[in-house]
């Protein structure tokens, strides 16, 4: 009789330890859900990662650079809305900015994303008067020869100074027919356009590699609500397949010297 009681007790103990208790499963689910929630909050409102897919920002950013982007500085974007949380400050002329492109009809016609997320330099703020003459950008009459964009030159495979594109026609609604900087040309070209005035809550973006950058000259001004953040630094970088013949270049051809580079 006593042995049967002991056997039954051992059997119950074995069966209870054979399957995880419901409480333990629930705790694991809560931990997993909490980790996902923390990731989503950080990625949406604080810091996100972004990869540079093109050479439009050379030499500042290279193809294959991976960036950490500060989403909070300009006010985190609230998903599925055109609203932002309060910002620490507004974008400043000369900063590199991550933003959602204005609608690009030519991209849609080609079957590509018509509103891609891009990284460019903000060269025009609300109220600025911008124009370009012979490839030299002027901001409020001051030539921007120094610094970024100074060494960009056309080549046989890039845009050319006299290129004309129907996409430039958006400029007519903002350009000045008369000003102390002269009149806007009847037909804007790649290197000769404006003067135009940047309206309120809009920004003019350009790539540092001026002849390989499809930017505000083509698709227009960027609304404030499209701004998504400011790149902080390069956390990983490798040469893409077009630049190297090494297999698995993301492992075998890492640009170690670029890791940790601050974006200016």
**Tens-place pLDDT, residues 114-130:** 999 999 999 999 999 99
pLDDT tier at 85 (50, 70, 90 boundaries)?
A: confident
Residue pLDDT, tens place only, 17-35? 555 688 778 777 766 676 6
pLDDT tier at 237 (50, 70, 90 boundaries)?
A: very high
Rg (C-alpha) for the chain, rounded Å, is 27
Show which residues are catalytic: 56, 120
The pLDDT score that the predictor gives to residue 245 is 80
CA distance from start to end of the chain: 83
Distances in Å between the Cα of 174 and the Cα atoms of 130, 164, 170, 178, 193 are 10, 18, 8, 12, 11
What's the order of all strands across the beta sheet hosting 136-139? 142-143, 136-139, 129-133, 193-197
Q: Residue 234's closest CA among 120, 64, 37?
A: 64
pTM of the model: 0.82
Residue 150, pLDDT > 80, answer: no
Q: Which domains does the chain have, with CATH numbers?
A: 50-258 (2.10.109.10)
The pLDDT score that the predictor gives to residue 259 is 95
């Amino acid at each position: 009789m006593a042995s049967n009681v002991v056997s039954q007790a051992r059997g119950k103990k074995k069966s209870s330890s054979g399957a995880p208790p419901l409480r333990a499963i629930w705790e694991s689910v809560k931990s997993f859900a909490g980790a996902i929630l923390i990731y989503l909050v950080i990625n949406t409102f604080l810091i996100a990662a972004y990869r540079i897919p093109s050479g439009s920002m050379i030499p500042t950013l290279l193809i294959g650079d991976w960036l950490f982007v500060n989403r909070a500085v300009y006010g985190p974007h609230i998903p599925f809305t055109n609203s932002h949380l309060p910002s620490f400050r507004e974008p400043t002329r000369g900063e590199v900015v991550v933003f959602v492109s204005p609608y690009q009809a030519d991209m849609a016609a080609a079957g590509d994303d018509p509103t891609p997320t891009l990284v460019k330099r903000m060269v025009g703020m609300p109220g600025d008067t911008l124009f370009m003459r012979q490839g030299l950008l002027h901001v409020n009459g001051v030539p921007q020869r120094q610094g970024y964009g100074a060494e960009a030159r056309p080549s046989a495979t890039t845009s050319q100074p006299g290129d004309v594109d129907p996409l430039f026609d958006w400029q007519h609604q903002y350009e000045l027919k008369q000003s102390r900087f002269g009149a806007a040309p009847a037909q804007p070209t790649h290197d000769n356009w404006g003067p135009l005035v940047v309206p309120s809550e809009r920004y003019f973006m350009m790539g540092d590699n001026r002849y390989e950058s499809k930017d505000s000259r083509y698709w227009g001004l960027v609304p404030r609500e499209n701004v998504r953040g400011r790149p902080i630094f390069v956390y990983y970088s490798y040469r893409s397949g077009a630049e190297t013949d090494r297999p698995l270049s993301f492992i075998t051809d890492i640009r170690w010297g670029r890791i940790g580079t601050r974006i200016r």
